[in-house]
Amino acid sequence: MEIGFLDENIPQTTANTVRVWSFWKSVIKKNTGKGRANTIAYYALVGNSLEETLKDSTAESIKGFLEKVREANNEYLAVVVILDNFKSHRKVTGEVEENGIYL
């Protein structure tokens, strides 16, 4: 049995808003454009880790990534994935257990 951790990160190219206290109207400056990169990773304790950039964070995208995790660790009878309580993570629970992935 393989055990690992799954999590997502969505870094954005938009800078944090900076506000400066003043007696006059403050100016808000952003020095970058807006862009997103949905990054997901599976960190294996013993088997093969995997990372990928997803087009979105829907349940279908998560399910597809979990299937790739299973393929990368097919020498194990089961893959146990520890994850957080993100909404799209909870939606795939029943669908992936038939492939030997337990959340």
Each residue's pLDDT tens digit, 6-27 = 988 877 766 556 666 667 776 6
In angstroms, what CA-CA distances link 94 with 42, 55, 89?
19, 23, 11
Record the pTM.
Answer: 0.74
Q: Is the per-residue pLDDT at 37 higher than 80? A: no
The answer to whether residues 52 and 40 touch, using CB atoms and an 8 Å cutoff, is yes
pLDDT band, very low/low/confident/very high, at 44 (cuts 50, 70, 90): very high
Residue range 2-12+31-102 in CATH 3.30.420.10: yes
The answer to whether residues 53 and 59 touch, using CB atoms and an 8 Å cutoff, is no
Q: Is the per-residue pLDDT at 34 higher than 90? A: no
Place of tokens 């992936």: 96
Q: Are strands 79-82 and 2-9 parallel, antiparallel or unpaired?
A: parallel
The answer to whether residues 83 and 7 touch, using CB atoms and an 8 Å cutoff, is yes
Residue bearing the bigger pLDDT, 90 or 52: 52
pLDDT the model gives residue 33: 62
Domain ranges of the chain: 2-12+31-102
Per-residue tokens: 46: 């013993």
Quickly list H helices, 1-103: 59-72, 87-90, 93-97
Q: Please write the tens of the pLDDT for every residue from 72-89.
A: 999 999 999 998 887 777
